[in-house]
Amino acid sequence: MKENVRRIRIPSTLITSILWILLGVILLIYPGESLDTLARVLGVIAIAFGAIEAIISLMSGGAAGYFGVGIGVVLIILGLVIVIRPYILVSLLPVIAGIIIGLHGLASLIDSFQLIGKDKYWWVGLLIGIVTIGFGVLLLFRAHDAAKAVARIVGILMVISSVSHLWVLYRRGKVRRMREQEQNAIEVEARVIDE
């Protein structure tokens, strides 16, 4: 069951990270145009990401699972509010983006801690996670700035946050594959000795 959850989680995280990167690029290129449309797109993405996070976290169970369900529900509620009243997002975009980017950075931070002793580059994810959290906090305190400038900053941070999360996922997958190869080698050696 947990193996199935892992297989589902990686593609869903990959898809949502790529969507975040695309949205970040759109915000960078067209910060002033169609903010209502962009707000609705962001709302739909938040709903989708929240639903995926809640379902997969519920399947995995445990304390981390319940935390993930909570994050998923919050994202679904935020997404619905944004889709129904996009003008709220235009004024709250920096605050919401700061929270989402901060949570994304926190996820990267937690994932990088799991790589300690297993991957020599675990600290890269840690640094990127800390920087991402810092930018999320900065956005929260700079929410009163002009929407155009903030939209560009949000676009850059969304791209950085998603790329860092994808990098940590890649490193975790590499560590998992190395473990599986080591395990297979041990099983082969055990068979040879038994014969």
Q: What is the pLDDT at residue 77?
A: 92
- Identity of the residue numbered 136: G
pLDDT digits (tens, 9 = 90+) for 10-35: 566 677 777 778 878 877 777 766 56
Radius of gyration of the CA atoms of the chain, in A: 19
**Stretch 29-47: mean pLDDT:** 77
Q: What is the pLDDT at residue 190?
A: 53
72 vs 16 pLDDT, higher one: 72
pLDDT digits (tens, 9 = 90+) for 121-148: 788 888 888 888 888 888 777 766 656 6
Kindly report whether the global pTM for this prediction surpasses the value 0.85. no
Let me know: does 88 contact 82? Beta carbons within 8 Å: yes
pLDDT digits (tens, 9 = 90+) for 141-176: 776 665 667 677 777 877 887 887 788 778 877 888
Secondary structure of 31-88 as H, E, C letters: CCCCHHHHHHHHHHHHHHHHHHHHHHHHHHCHHHHHHHHHHHHHHHHHHHHHHHCHHH
* Alpha carbon distances (Å) from 182 to 4, 46, 120: 21, 39, 17
- Mean of pLDDT over the chain: 76
Let me know: does 126 contact 110? Beta carbons within 8 Å: no
Q: What is the pLDDT at residue 63?
A: 62
